[in-house]
Amino acid sequence: MINWELKKIFKCRTGLIVLVLFVFLSGIMVFLNPTLETENSYRNDKYELIVDTRPGNEIAQEKFDEKIKQIANTNANDDFMNKIGEISRDNLKFMKYKEYKEVNFYKVINYKASHPFMSVIMVIILVLIFSNIYVDEKISGVDSIILSSENKLKVLYSKLGLAIIVPLIMYGGYLIIEFLVTLVKYGAPVNGGLEAFRIIDNGFILLNGTYTINEYLVLKIITMLLIFISISVFSSFFSFISNNSLASISGILIFIGVGKVLTLIKFLPSLLLNILSVGNYVDLIFYSDRFVGMYAGNVNILGISLELINLCNGILIATLLTGVILCIVTFKKVLTR
Amino acid sequence: MNKLEIRNLTKTYGRKKANDNITVTLQNGVYGLLGPNGSGKTTIMKQITTLIEPTKGEIIYNGDNIKTLDDKYRALIGYLPQEFGVYKNFSAKQFLQYVAALKGLSKKESRNKIDELLNLVGLYDVRNKVVGKFSGGMKRRVGIAQALLNDPKILVLDEPTAGLDPQERARFRNLLSQISKDKIILLSTHIISDIESIAKETIMIKNGAILMKGNHRDILSAMEGKVYSIKTNNEEEAVEIQNSYKTVNIQRGVDDIELRVISDNMPPYKTTQVVEPKFEDVYMFYFDLENSREV
């Protein structure tokens, strides 16, 4: 039935729009690249672009030394900085090489794996597909044929299955395209076993552990997938319970935005505000670099001290599972009333 | 032999009872479901096709509750909903292939069946054209074909002939008569002649409950001696008759006006004649509905 579901998507206008968006995204992202460790350019007071013309390795070594300096100078003046200091010391202790090593490939892939432009387009694609995945059946009037058929549950579970598979394929496909382009431009990936801070420009000091580049990238890709899959599962859920596209799209937009909006309500409990300020979908989509693998302090729940980012990761997984359960309950209890 | 027992079926939406304690047993043959809009016909059909669950009561198929049978029961159903829709970007053949997949037919099984049904509903020549460009009647024929795909034991048809021309309707009625030997066919329509010509029994629904059930003879016999024909050439008298009696039909001839009326007592006009009751009279008597004139 999954093949039929895909056929339905790509036979209508939404499918064409999605393909165009995906090609557009992959194309644009080929040209969006970060400033490499071996490059340095800035604008002066007169807004003139100044490009550092020194050899790449010299620039990279200077940047690397600066990072090491920042890590070494981490001052422990509270619990938060204590933890950061501890990680920094570990980072320095377990460093294999004390000098710059070529990490251009990883830096570019890391940049592209969570670029806000990519995330926004990906979310648009997923919302377009899954907000209509069941609403279209209702609008076309085929829903009653489906619900009275022998394979009714197969169809519904296929739709839910697609909500999990399509983000995997879309994001996976995007990463493969960018991987190949980066491979051609910057050569094969090397030194993936070195420290993750080498490919992070800002906030590397807040890394919550001595991640290697490979570990950090895997963590990032899993986090992005969790974000995308949970959005597509909830889009499907809103599609199952809505009667028209507008209601369905409104539902998922509210779902995405509600966390961010609630952070503005200052009288909410500080624990909730802390969780929402780190784990709301808007910030996850736009600033996932501030979330993945980072340390953002601890929170106390029932006397247990939990790391905020870990807690938010747990909530993200729980959100996804809740979405899946809500869809299944809808299949069994709501669609047949 | 198929046996579908509907026992004390009640469906409520808030305070409104869409179906009220419906009990009926259906066996092979065509059953007509007759009633005005909003009388609860579609709600009964939706419960039989498992689209909605009854608030009270149960539906038993050959001794088993359909809720327990679940997929096995749905495998036996063919359903044409009132608001039947199609994927407008699919061709007729593709749409039927999709429905065949929904009904668990293998590719091989469905290939032959689809061609056979497309021929049967007269759409074989346009099988590769997108359904979005089909007329209402053609879409309805696609609907009839999809309902028959799995050779259902229970065929539920909600307004199947709406939008069909007289020739198509006749062909469809013949088809139903042919296949009804080993199937339960439940047919809901406003077109009384459809029910009159093919239904073994008619179930009349009013306000969610069964008003009357039986074969044509039983139903018509209840109207025996209550249907009259009155001829007049006086326009004022015609208006007076119309105002005094439940008038089923007014036929204006060259010289006179013939009125068909229903009354418990014989109207006191010279030209009054008792006539044989027709199904339309029954409908008008119980429902007094304007759209019953579409015959």
Chain B, 157-216: which have a CB under 8 Å from a chain A CB?
Answer: none
Contact A144/B77, CB-based, under 8 Å?
no
B77: closest CA of chain A, how far (Å): 7
Q: Is residue A59 part of a domain?
A: no
In chain A, residues with a C-beta closer than 8 Å to the C-beta of B46 are 144
Burial annotation A81-93 (CB, 10 A radius, 16+ → b, else e) = eebbbebbeebee
Helix (H, G, I), strand (E, B) or coil at A117: helix
User: Per the structure block, which two tokens stand in for B125?
Assistant: 């020549």
Contact A146/B150, CB-based, under 8 Å?
no
Percent of chain B with pLDDT over 70: 97
| pLDDT range class, residue A337, cuts 50, 70, 90 | low
Length of chain B: 295
For A332, counting Cβ atoms within 10 Å of its Cβ (0-12 exposed, 13-18 middle, 19+ buried), the class is exposed
CB-nearest partner of B51 from A12, A142, A148? A148
User: Per the structure block, which two tokens stand in for B132?
Assistant: 């979005």
Closest CA to B8 of B49, B59, B77, B67: B59
Chain A, 2-21: which have a CB under 8 Å from a chain B CB?
Answer: 4, 8, 11-12
Q: HSE, CB side, 13 Å, CA atoms: give it for residue A3.
A: 5
Contact B104/A151, CB-based, under 8 Å?
yes
Closest CA to A132 of A90, A166, A88, A97: A166
Does the pLDDT value for residue A88 go beyond 80?
no
d(CA A232, CA A238): 10
Contact A336/B90, CB-based, under 8 Å?
no
Chain A and chain B share a number of CB contacts under 8 A equal to 71
Does the pLDDT value for residue B290 go beyond 50?
no
Whether B103 contacts chain A with CB within 8 A:
yes
| Closest-approach residue (CA) in chain B for A139 | B85
Looking at per-residue pLDDT, the higher value among A322 and A269 belongs to A322
Q: What pLDDT shows up at residue A175?
A: 94
| Closest-approach residue (CA) in chain A for B69 | A150
Q: What pLDDT shows up at residue A177?
A: 94
d(CA B239, CA A337): 49
Length of chain A: 337
Whether A147 contacts chain B with CB within 8 A:
yes
If you average pLDDT over residues B124-152, what whole number do you get?
88
d(CA B285, CA B290): 11
Whether B151 contacts chain A with CB within 8 A:
no
Closest CA to B146 of A149, A216, A298: A149
B47: closest CA of chain A, how far (Å): 9
| pLDDT range class, residue A232, cuts 50, 70, 90 | very high
Q: Is residue A269 part of a domain?
A: yes
In chain A, residues with a C-beta closer than 8 Å to the C-beta of B103 are 149-151
Could you give the number of structural domains in chain A? 1
In chain B, residues with a C-beta closer than 8 Å to the C-beta of A8 are 87
Contact B85/A140, CB-based, under 8 Å?
yes
Q: What pLDDT shows up at residue A112?
A: 92
Locus of tokens 């305070």: B15
B148: closest CA of chain A, how far (Å): 12
Q: How far from B269 is each of B86, B226, B243, B251, CA to CA, in Å?
A: 55, 15, 14, 17
Does the pLDDT value for residue B97 go beyond 70?
yes
Q: Is residue A238 part of a domain?
A: yes
Contact A140/B71, CB-based, under 8 Å?
no
Residues 6+ apart with CB under 8 A from A100: A37, A57, A60, A61, A63, A64, A198
CA angle, A81 then A82 then A85, to 5°: 80
CA dihedral B44, B47, B53, B54 (to 10 degrees): 40
| pLDDT range class, residue A91, cuts 50, 70, 90 | confident
In chain A, residues with a C-beta closer than 8 Å to the C-beta of B99 are 145, 149
Whether B61 contacts chain A with CB within 8 A:
no
d(CA B62, CA B46): 19
Residues 6+ apart with CB under 8 A from B194: B32, B161, B169, B173, B187
Q: Is residue A171 part of a domain?
A: yes
Phi, psi torsion values for A315, nearest 5 degrees: -65, -40
CB-nearest partner of A142 from B71, B74, B85? B85
d(CA B139, CA B143): 6
Whether B55 contacts chain A with CB within 8 A:
no
Please say whether the beta carbons of A155 and A1 come within 8 A. yes
In chain A, residues with a C-beta closer than 8 Å to the C-beta of B71 are 150-153
Q: Is residue A42 part of a domain?
A: no
Does the pLDDT value for residue A230 go beyond 80?
yes
Contact A151/B101, CB-based, under 8 Å?
yes
Whether A73 contacts chain B with CB within 8 A:
no
d(CA A300, CA A289): 24
Contact A151/B83, CB-based, under 8 Å?
no
Whether B101 contacts chain A with CB within 8 A:
yes
Identify the CATH homologous superfamily for domain B3-220.
Answer: P-loop containing nucleotide triphosphate hydrolases (3.40.50.300)
Does the pLDDT value for residue A130 go beyond 50?
yes
Phi, psi torsion values for B143, nearest 5 degrees: -60, -40
Average pLDDT, chain B: 86
For B147, counting Cβ atoms within 10 Å of its Cβ (0-12 exposed, 13-18 middle, 19+ buried), the class is buried
Percent of chain B with pLDDT over 90: 24
In chain A, residues with a C-beta closer than 8 Å to the C-beta of B86 are 140-142
If you average pLDDT over residues A315-324, what whole number do you get?
94
d(CA B35, CA B207): 9
Whether A141 contacts chain B with CB within 8 A:
yes
Contact A150/B103, CB-based, under 8 Å?
yes
Give the dihedral sign, CA B99/B100/B102/B103.
positive
Does the pLDDT value for residue A240 go beyond 90?
yes
If you average pLDDT over residues A96-119, what whole number do you get?
88
Closest CA to A103 of A175, A2, A193: A193
CA dihedral B32, B33, B34, B37 (to 10 degrees): -140
Q: Is the pTM of this model over 0.90?
A: no
| pLDDT per residue as tens digits for the range B182-208 | 899 999 887 787 888 888 888 988 888
Give the dihedral sign, CA A166/A172/A178/A180.
negative
Helix (H, G, I), strand (E, B) or coil at B10: strand
Q: What pLDDT shows up at residue B292?
A: 40
Please say whether the beta carbons of B131 and B86 come within 8 A. yes
| pLDDT range class, residue A76, cuts 50, 70, 90 | low
Does the pLDDT value for residue A291 go beyond 50?
yes
Whether B52 contacts chain A with CB within 8 A:
yes
A137: closest CA of chain B, how far (Å): 8
- Where in the sequence is the domain holding A246, given as residue range(s)? 2-36+101-334
Name residue B230's beta-bridge partners: B259
Does the pLDDT value for residue B291 go beyond 50?
no
Does the pLDDT value for residue A122 go beyond 70?
yes
Does the pLDDT value for residue B295 go beyond 60?
no
The per-residue DSSP string of A7-69 comes to: HHHHHSHHHHHHHHHHHHHHHHHHH--PPPTT--EEE-TT--EEE--S-HHHHHHHHHHHHHH
Radius of gyration in angstroms for the set of CA atoms belonging to chain A, rounded to a whole number: 23
Name residue A79's beta-bridge partners: none
In chain A, residues with a C-beta closer than 8 Å to the C-beta of B81 are 141, 144-145
Q: How many helices and strands, by DSSP H and E, does chain A display?
A: 14, 4
Q: What pLDDT shows up at residue A296?
A: 80
Average pLDDT, chain A: 88
Q: How many helices and strands, by DSSP H and E, does chain B display?
A: 11, 14
Q: Is residue A43 part of a domain?
A: no
Q: Is residue A55 part of a domain?
A: no
Contacts made by residues B167-176, CB under 8 angstroms, sequence distance 24+: B168/B122, B168/B137, B168/B141, B169/B194, B171/B122, B172/B144, B173/B197, B173/B198, B175/B120, B175/B144, B176/B30
| pLDDT per residue as tens digits for the range B243-272 | 888 888 888 888 888 888 888 888 888 888
Q: What pLDDT shows up at residue B288?
A: 66
Contact B83/A146, CB-based, under 8 Å?
no
Phi, psi torsion values for B59, nearest 5 degrees: -120, 125
Does the pLDDT value for residue A126 go beyond 50?
yes
In chain A, residues with a C-beta closer than 8 Å to the C-beta of B90 are 11
Looking at per-residue pLDDT, the higher value among A214 and A70 belongs to A214
Dmax of chain B from CA atoms?
69
Whether B74 contacts chain A with CB within 8 A:
yes
Does the pLDDT value for residue A146 go beyond 70?
yes
| pLDDT range class, residue B289, cuts 50, 70, 90 | very low
Q: Is residue A75 part of a domain?
A: no
CA angle, A95 then A100 then A104, to 5°: 110
Residues 6+ apart with CB under 8 A from B184: B2, B4, B26, B27, B28, B29, B31, B153, B154, B155
Closest CA to A175 of A14, A19, A25: A25
Whether B139 contacts chain A with CB within 8 A:
no
| pLDDT range class, residue B293, cuts 50, 70, 90 | very low
